Amino acid sequence: MKLAVMVNEGPYQHQSADSALQFTKAALEKGHEVFRVFFYHDGVNNGTRFGVPPQDDRNITVQWSELAEQHNIDLVVCVAAAQRRGLLDENEAKRHGKDGNNIANGFRISGLGQLIEAGIQSDRLVVFGD
């Protein structure tokens, strides 16, 4: 089965981010394909490389990055939600006159069209968070 995943909550504010990550790992282990993970609303905060959780805590952003690299998963952060929360890639930083970017490895910024495409191309769209 081809799956798309949508994450609407930040990495440490709500269980949804952990649940989405664990669901995605389990789906891959069972042989399913994950077409795309789309981060929306506060979920875009999963894509910042500046998050520094305590050493004895999990680093959800790094876990997403590693999973994406291992399984060639497209991690897409909604551009509008990202800008509102100060998450920028190199292109968006330049476009807005900012001197740096803070997007984590494996994540990319794009629009809601990527969510629509994921829903069309996948057998199921699984949503985590409100």
Q: Report the catalytic residues.
A: 78
Q: Which of 127, 125, 108 is nearest to 117 (CA)?
A: 125
**CA 77 to each of CA 36, 38, 43, 57, 108: distance values in angstroms, whole numbers, following the listed order:** 11, 6, 8, 23, 6
